[in-house]
Structure 1
C-alpha cells in the first residue's frame, strides 16, 4: 500500500460508510410492524423482517438516480428523497403488507383496511434515511480523528438531509458537505475537487474514507488518498476489488474508524 501522505482533511462517504443502511431500515420496518400488531394483542414472526430485508428499497432508489442522470445529466437529490418516501408504500403493497384503498382518487397511495400501518405511520417510516444508525465505531473514531484532521461529509444527497442525519445521530463531523453544493454527484471530479477547494486544501492533502470502491476510484483519480473501510453488505461493486484501488484498507473484522485513527498515528488508548 502507498505511504500515507501529509493529510489535512478526511472526507467521508456517509451512507453505508458512517451509517448502516440495510439493517436499520429493515429493523425500523420490523419494529413498526410489531408495534402495530401488538397494539391489537397480536404477535409477529420474523417473516415481516425478512420481507423488509429483501425489499431492496435503496436499490430502487439507485435506479431512480440513474434514470435522472440519463435524462437530465444531473440529480435533484430532494426529488430522490421524495421518491423514496413515495416508493415505500408501493413496495410494501407488493409484499402484501399494506393494502391500497380501492376508492383512492389520487396518484398518492391511500392505505386501506387490513394494512399494518396508517398513512401517517408510513410517512414517518419514509423518513428513516434521516435517522439511520451510525456504525458502533463511527462516533468514537471521528472524535479521535478530529484531534488531527478536519472531518467532512461528502455524500450524494442534499445538505438539509445530511445535516438532519448528522444532528440526529450526534456524529461529530467538523463540516457537513454534500454533492448538491457542487451541482453534481460523485464520482464526478467536480464534487471531490470542489470540496477540496472549499476546504482550502490541495487534493493531495485530502483522503476519502468510503465503503464503496467506485467512490474511492473517483476520488483517487482526482489525487485523493483512498481509504477503504469494509462494512458488512455495503459494497455495491465487488468486481472492483481486483483493481487494488485503496491506498489503505480497514478490514471488516477490525474496529472501523477507531482502527483508522490508530493507523493515522493517533493515540487511541
Structure 2
C-alpha cells in the first residue's frame, strides 16, 4: 500500500465491520422466544402466545434490523452536552418498544429483556477478522473505535477472540461517531496526530468524518451493511474520502494486511 508515512494505529469500527450482527441477533431473539414459550411457569396471555408462535425467522430478523437501525438514529442524534447514555441502555429500552409494537410486550420479563439486549455482546467475527487482525498486529497497534460502550467491546473481544491490541470506545469521549470529539479523542489517547491514524470501517459516513480530520481511511465492504449501488460506490470513490477500497469477496482484513505488504504465509 503506497501510504507514506504509514499510520501508527489502525482504528476499527466494530459492528458490521469486524463482527456480523444480523444472523447472531436474529438467532438470539428466536432462542429467547422459544424459551419463553416453553416455560411452563411463565403466564403468557393467549394473545401474546399466539403472536409469538406465529413469528417467523424473517419476522425476528426484521426486528433485529430495526433494532440495529435504531442504534444508528440514537447515536446520530445524541447531544454530547447531555449525560452520556450507553448503547447497552439504548438496546434494552428500544427492544421493549419493538416488542410492544408487535403485541409481544409481555413475552419477556425485565431480566430476560436485559439478557436479550446483551446479545450484542455475543456476536461472531467475520471469517477474515481474527486472522486479519493478527497479521495487522505485526505492523500496527490495532484498536476498536466503536460507538459500543466499553463493557460491550471488551465482551466482544473476549467472545470472538479478537486480537486487538487496544480498546477505545465512544464512551471514553462522551460523544458518538461521527462527532469529531471521538476521532480527536482517539488520536490524543495515543498521543498522535490524526495524520498518524488510520480508520477501518464498512460504513462510509464513519470514514468521511475521519478523513475530514486527517485520518487515513480504509473501506471494507461487508454483506448487507450498506448495499451500495454501482452509482453510489462510484460517487463515494469520486469524492475521495476513502484511501483504500476493499469490495465484497476480496478477503476483508486479510487483504488489507496484504496491501500493507505484510506476509501472510507466516500467520500460523
Q: Please give the TM-score of this superposition, normalised by the length of structure 1.
A: 0.81
| Aligned residue among 48, 52, 57 for 1:49 | 57
Superposition deviation, residue 134 in structure 1:
1.2
- 1:195 paired residue number: 186
Match of 1:88 in 2: 95
Q: 1:66 to 1:215 in 2, by over 3 A?
A: closer
Q: Do residues 76 (structure 1) and 84 (structure 2) align?
A: yes
Change (3 A) 1:66 1:9: closer
Where in structure 2 are there 5+ consecutive unaligned residues? 41-51
The match for 2:75 among 33, 55, 65 is 65
Partner Cα separation in structure 1 for residue 151 and residue 98 of structure 2: 26
Once the two structures are overlaid, the 10-residue window that deviates more, 86-95 or 221-230, is: 86-95
- 1:144 deviates by 0.8
Match of 2:20, SS state, is coil
Instruction: Give the equivalent residue in structure 1 for 2:25.
Output: 25
C-alpha contact 1:142 1:173 (8 A) present in aligned 2: yes
| Structure-2 separation of matches of 1:184 and 1:212 | 18
TM-aligned CA distance change 1:265 to 1:45, over 3 Å: farther
**CA 1:147–1:251 in structure 2 vs 1: closer, same or farther (change >3 Å)?**
same
Structure 1 equivalent of residue 152 of structure 2? 161
Q: Post-superposition shift, 1:132? A: 1.5
Tell me the alpha carbon deviations over residues 104-124 of structure 1, each in whole angstroms, 9 at most, x when there is no partner.
xxxxxxx3xxx4x55543321
Query: Structure 1 pair 94/136, CA: closer, same or farther in 2 (3 Å)?
Result: same
Give runs of aligned pairs for residues 1-269 of structure 1, distance below 5 A. Answer: 3-5=2-4, 6-34=6-34, 47-55=55-63, 56-69=66-79, 73=81, 76-78=84-86, 80-96=87-103, 98=104, 100=105, 111=106, 115=107, 117-235=108-226, 241=233, 242-244=235-237, 245-269=241-265
Q: TM-score w.r.t. structure 2 length?
A: 0.81
**Does the CA-based 8 Å contact 1:16-1:231 persist in structure 2?**
yes
Q: Deviations over 1:164-195 (max 9, x none)?
A: 22122221100001112123222222222221
Number of matched pairs: 246
1:116-156 deviations in Å (ceiling 9; x for gaps): x5554332112111112111111111011111110011111
Native 8 Å contact 1:214 1:237 kept in 2: no
Q: 1:236 to 1:86 in 2, by over 3 A?
A: farther
CA contact (8 A) 2:78 2:176 kept: no
Aligned equivalents of 2:113, 2:99: Cα separation in 1: 10
